[in-house]
Structure 1
Amino acid sequence: MTSQQSQQHGTAVDTTPVIPLPLGTARVLTAAGAALTVLSTFLSWTWTDAFPGNLTVTGYPGGLQLLTLTGALLTLVHLLAAWGIRGLRMLDPAGGHGGTVWTAAGTFAATWYTLIAIAVQLGGLANLEPGGWVAGAAALLTLTGALALPLDRRATATGTARGRLAAVRDIMRTLHPGRTGRPLPPARPLPGWAEILLIAAAFGISLGVLTYGIGTRYGELFTGFLFLTGFCAAGLHQAGLTTRLAELTARHRNVTVAAAFVAAALFPLTQDTDEYTLIIVNILIFATVALGLNVVVGLAGLLDLGYVAFLGVGAYTAALVSGSTASTLHVRFPFWAAVLTGAAASLVFGVVIGAPTLRLRGDYLAIVTLGFGEIFRLAVGNLDGQSGPSVTNGPNGIPNIPDLELFGYNFGDKHSVGGIALSPFANYYLLMLLFTVIVVLVFSRAGNSRIGRAWIAIREDETAATAMGINAFRLKLLAFALGATLAGLAGTVQAHVAHTVVPEQYVFAGPVPPNSAFLLAAVILGGMGTITGPLLGAALLYLIPAKLQFLQDYQLLAFGAALILLMRFRPEGIIPNRRQQLEFHEDTAAKAEA
């Protein structure tokens, strides 16, 4: 037999290695390549410090060399764990070499991206020092050896050409849970305190990785970071570590929630300037609005293309009642009243817009909601006292929105709490983090309730749900109103963080999120109907344009290409809902059974 087939959930996975080499030779080749890659990072890769990160120093890795060093070390760790080395075996519960393959690919991608960037920016391959050539060859050697390793330890190391092509296809499919081979063996029982420490360590490492990524000082480093973290995350999944962590978090839900909140709250303490804290504040605003849209799209299945208008309603309402010198109402509500007013205004607009339109379905509903979004933008642009009543100052918007103040605590001032200095954006970050927690709790409770199950039934088949006695219109209107309220809640904070609101912030598609297109993409790319999916999707869609300035002119092109690739290879999203994942790959499972 030339390949090993394993079954899980009725799906066959071919574990034939891509490159036919004996198992021992493949392991030695991978280990030698990874070790040589580590050594190459201590050599100079270029002769000039004109390339960011100063890769001219011998004996001290810097910049993008650190990413290559990290990837090579992780490849060695995964290889030794899959090899069965005592003390490392627990790092490869899946019992194969999938983690090694993915981390080797990540090391190769980060290394070769660096070398290509050096050649392009400095004007040719002549700008590479011998260390760069060694790094490129070593990374290629590592990947070659890894591709000769079987994904299943029980698989043979040789195969036919047809089997090897199938293995390439299966490597691309390994990120789908339920398609990665046999189930994980039972985990070794650990004391409760040890499991809690592992959960805390996982969130601590995640905080460190996030802090490093957000704090990257130039676009080349951030791009290399994306390459490495993306492939390494796939390697952790393929090795079974994410499954093990999910089992631990399921057993200690309260500890997990507390650890996640503490790790998120510690983020401002890792920053010495407001530059990156402001980015993460905007990410939280974007993510909170995406979660509200997830109620409408992910749970109820209503395609809303004008959702950003509800964010604008909340922002404009808060700007009008928060004491801005440009406000036409000339009132100043306290913080809690401004928040409730903004959320209530968005709720009213959600009901007013939803009541006459939610009897439509599919494309017709999408067109109507798109029209509402454009009507809102044009309306606030014309309420300037000339084209219409004097309410919003028209295209000039409402500037000079004062900072929030709660119980005498001004969010625009620096404060010291328990000896810890908090900058203005750190204050807003903690406030927005609290709002995000509230929205997550609302979404979780709503999704798991009787109403949430009714929303899912409507999403799957509205006709069948109606036949079973579900009042589809009333429940769709409830979902629309809840989603609008959550968007308005985030809009009240956005207005105070930006200190101004203008109509151009609330368009269907534009270069700067949040807008309706990016919000919808965050939900779809992250994973509809989940909590972590839209959070991750919103973070990526906001962070990548913010860090990669050279993509500003090609942002929509890159965005479209990413959508096409993800919809082709992972239509259920990065963090999928289990039910939808099975639906998307129903045909593949049927073919495998046949």
Structure 2
Amino acid sequence: MTTQTTAPDTPSTPATGAPSGLVRIPPRIGRAVATVGGALTILSTFLSWTWTADFPGDLTVYGYPGGLQVLVLIGGVLTTLFALASYGIKGLGWLVPAGADAALKFAALTTFATAWYTVLAISVELGGLVNLEPGGYLVAVTSLAALIGALALPFQRPEPDPIDPDDTSWEHFKHRAAHQWATVKAAFTSGTPRPLGKLPSYAEILIIVGILALGLTVFTYGIGTEYDELFIGFLLTAGLGFAALNKAGLISQASQLTARHQNITTCGAFVAAALFPFTQTNDQYATLGVYILIFATVALGLNIVVGLAGLLDLGYVAFLGVGAYAAALVSGSPNSPFHVHFPFWAAVLIGAAASLVFGVLIGAPTLRLRGDYLAIVTLGFGEIFRITANNLDGTSGPDLTNGSNGIASIPNLDILGFDFGAQHDIAGFSIGRFANYFFLMLIITAVVVLVFRRSGNSRIGRAWVAIREDETAALAMGINGFRVKLIAFAVGASLAGLAGTVQAHVTYTVTPEQYLFAGPIPPNSAFLLAAVVLGGMGTISGPLIGAALLFLIPNKLQFLGDYQLFAFGLALILLMRFRPEGLIPNRRRQLEFHEEAEAPTVLSTTGA
């Protein structure tokens, strides 16, 4: 791995040291202020911030950060490290392969946002600034100083075009093209992450293990936040901290490693997920974990329809409901009119097959439509399914689904003598009911990931992508568009039905209200589509991460009451504004949204 000895953003600083950043002070002074501010912020986290333990997290202890202080400490460490790396110190260049200045700005913003949110929360909840101890005042001043110093660093701007725009001669064209290419190259030489140097395979695998361990730690911390203030601070630190790491180029470097060892990364991710129940002392957060996996698996199935085939399906949650109802009817519920109790493997096959049949029946007459028309039809199907299930109560229709009361008292699974409803002791750890279903759902998620990966890399997967990119061109090349889209619809529907069979047993009851188009709590069609777009269309990990965020955040924001969806929607708007390709973007979509930034890299690669 190459070591960076000079700050990549430094060449844009004027030789005279004149101000060139957002804050009009010399960059060298700003860098020093950011460094000192970050170091003092770290120190402040070991002091008391308030005199009373009434504020959640007990911020009265000296010498031991707790609660929100830990998050500010993380931001202060990032700010200090990026500030030191901006000086070109040997041994820190690997931290900023894409440049230190932009990363330092976001790290300082992370620290400032979390610190000032904590100070304001203490003041509001306890009744004024008088409740702050010296540590609280210190962190407010030092985090603000670090942010001001970071904003004094220069921003790279393209140089003005010296060519007369009214000149239409051939010489003007050549000069203008050469100037634009030089501007783009200069702007992105320091902003594009340097290729990761070749490391021994064992070293790269160890780095991947560290990345997965960090991901498990962050997820476990986020899902286990015990009070509302800590979760909001976690969102600020995690969101802005991710942006800082991305600006530093570390996210891109991690993507290179995981792409180089894709099989190891996939297996390691499932191992890390399997360790999650062992980090919990009870089923409180394992409950969220199993629902997140159900939601994520359905979102991954929708990713086949939307992300690979490019079909906008707004009623996809109906296929989840079909699978859940089909499994509930044959799983021994006393409310089922069939009065049968099939083993789980048979219920799984019936649920997946029922969703597959419904997918074909709905797709066959509608997939000749495109765009908005297809979206409207699928939206209508989702509502028709919910209304039909509500009417099959023996009064408005045949007695099949028990109407709005649903199919209740679905028994717990018993597979090979293993009772999923009972608590089990494994290696000294007590695993409860929801943890048992978490492991089962993790196996099903692995199956869905395997199906998505194999189908996406197959001949039919390439046909899906061709249809998504340009259906007319794909038809001209001999691809049977209708058949290819129908297969995508059927595969996606069957995967949703597969998840629905587990959902029926986890929730004990299946009712029509669980399968709305939109609502405050997922899964519903709107949140499923948002999970695919937010995470990254056409990828495997994208919808999984997007679904985890979209399920976890609304559950944690319930204390906001009527403002919950407003805050959540505002966060989604900001994310889509600054990262429209998704959190884990597909390479093709990343080029579409950031064509001007990626062009030099692509051209240099082809030129080589």
TM superposition score normalised by structure 1: 0.89
Q: CA offset at residue 99 of structure 1?
A: 2.5
224, 227, 235: which one aligns with 1:218: 227
Q: Does 1:38 align with 2:42?
A: yes
Alignment of 1:47-58 (within 5 A): 47-58=51-62
In the alignment, does 2:95 pair up with 1:91? yes
Using the TM superposition, give the Cα deviation of residue 252 of structure 1 relative to its aligned residue in structure 2, in angstroms. Answer: 2.5
Q: Quick one: which amino acid aligns to residue 513 of structure 1? A: P
Matches within 5 A, 1:461-472: 461-472=470-481
Per the TM alignment, residue 296 of structure 1 is displaced from its structure 2 partner at its CA by: 0.8
Letter in 2 for 1:148: A
**Which shows bigger deviation, 311-320 or 565-574?**
565-574
Q: Give the 3-state SS of the residue equivalent to 1:401 in structure 2.
A: coil
Do 1:315 and 1:342's aligned partners in 2 also have CA atoms closer than 8 Å? yes
Q: Give matches, 1:84-483, under 5 Å.
A: 84-150=88-154, 181-483=190-492
1:573 corresponds to which of 569, 574, 582: 582
What is the number of residues matched between the two proteins?
A: 562
The alignment partner of 2:499 has SS state of: helix
Match of 2:551 among 542, 553, 574: 542
- C-alpha distance in 2, partners of 1:179/1:501? 53
Q: Deviation digits for residues 159-214 of structure 1, max 9, x if unmatched?
A: 99xxxxxxxxxxxxxxxxx9684544454443322222111111112111111111
- Structure 1 residue 559, shift from structure 2 partner: 3.4
Distance 1:80 1:455 in 2: 48
Q: Which deviates more from structure 2 when the two are superposed, residues 53-62 or residues 495-504?
A: 53-62
Read off the aligned partner of 2:438 and give its amino acid letter: Y
Q: Which residue of 1 aligns with 2:494?
A: 485
Report the equivalent of 1:24.
28
Q: Secondary structure at the match of 1:416?
A: strand
Moved more, 98-107 or 557-566: 557-566
CA distance in 1, matches of 2:73, 2:468: 47
Report the more deviating stretch, 581-590 or 521-530.
Answer: 581-590
CA contact (8 A) 2:97 2:194 kept: yes
Unaligned 5+ residue runs, structure 1? 7-14, 161-177
Partner SS state of residue 83, structure 1: coil
For 1:60, the aligned partner's letter is Y
| Corresponding residue for residue 164 of structure 1 | none
Partner of 1:168: none
Q: Residues 296-315 of structure 1: CA distance to partner in whole angstroms, max 9, x if unpaired? A: 11111111111100000011
1:496-507 matches, cutoff 5 A: 496-507=505-516
Cα deviations across residues 425-460 of structure 1 (Å, max 9, x unaligned)? 111111111111111111112222221121112112
> Are the equivalent residues in 1 in contact too, given 2:110–2:240 (CA < 8 A)?
yes
In 2, Cα distance between equivalents of 1:575 and 1:132: 37
| Residues 454 and 4 (structure 1), Cα distance of their counterparts in 2 relative to 1, 3 Å cut | farther
Give the match's secondary structure for 2:252. helix
1:190 to 1:298, Cα distance in 2 relative to 1, 3 A: closer
Distance change >3 Å, CA 588–CA 16, structure 1 → 2: farther
Kindly indicate whether residue 72 of structure 2 is the aligned counterpart of residue 68 of structure 1. Answer: yes
1:554 partner amino acid: Y
Residue 5 of structure 1 deviates from its aligned partner by 7.1
* 1:575-594 superposed matches below 5 A: 575-586=584-595
Q: Which amino acid aligns with 2:479?
A: I
Letter in 2 for 1:274: D
Kindly, what percent of the aligned residue pairs are identical?
Answer: 65
Contact 1:511 1:552 (8 Å CA) reproduced:
no
Displacement after TM superposition at 1:3 (Å): 9.0
Deviation, structure 1 residue 79: 2.3
Q: Is the 8 A contact 1:219 1:549 kept in 2?
A: no
The letter of the residue matching 1:387 is: S
Q: 1:179 and 1:447, CA in 2 relative to 1: closer, same or farther beyond 3 A? A: farther
Structure 2 SS opposite 1:536: helix
**For residue 532 of structure 2, what is the amino acid of its counterpart?**
V
- What's the CA shift string for 1:231-278, capped at 9, x where partnerless? 111222222222222222233233222221211111111100101111
Distance in structure 1 (CA, Å) of the matches to 2:458 and 2:310:
17
- Is the contact made by 2:315 and 2:382 (CA closer than 8 Å) also made in structure 1? yes
Match of 1:561 among 547, 557, 570: 570
Q: Which moved more, 1:139-148 or 1:246-255?
A: 246-255
Quick check: 1:526–1:575 contact (8 Å CA) kept in 2?
Answer: yes
Shift in CA distance, 435/499, structure 1 to aligned 2, threshold 3 Å? same
Query: What letter is aligned with 1:125?
Result: L
Contact 2:99 2:191 in 1 (8 A): no
Cα shift readout 1:533-591 (whole Å, capped 9, x = no counterpart): 11111111110111122234223323332343333333222222221222234478899
Paired letter, 1:545: P
1:213-236 Cα deviation digits (max 9, x unpaired): 111101110110111111111222
Report which stretch shifted further, 232-241 or 343-352.
Answer: 232-241
**1:276–1:353: structure 2 CA closer, same or farther, 3 Å change rule?**
same
1:302 maps to a residue whose letter is: L
Corresponding letter in the other structure for 1:83: Y
Could you say what the CA RMSD is over the residues aligned between the two structures, in angstroms? 2.7
1:584 corresponds to which letter in structure 2? Answer: F
Instruction: Give the CA deviation at 1:379.
Output: 0.8
CA contact under 8 A between 2:286 and 2:438: conserved in structure 1? Answer: yes
| 1:34 Cα offset (Å) | 1.0
- Secondary structure in structure 2 of the residue aligned to 1:266: helix
> Contact 2:99/2:190 (CA < 8 Å) preserved in 1?
no
Amino acid at match of 2:336: S
Unaligned 5+ segments in structure 2 are 1-8, 14-18, 161-186, 604-608
C-alpha distance in structure 2 between counterparts of 1:257 and 1:228, whole Å: 26
Letter in 2 for 1:79: A
Partners of 2:311 and 2:142 in 1: CA distance:
51
CA distance in 2 between partners of 1:182 and 1:46 (Å): 41
Corresponding residue for residue 10 of structure 1: none
Once the two structures are TM-superposed, the CA of residue 148 in structure 1 deviates from its matched residue by 2.4
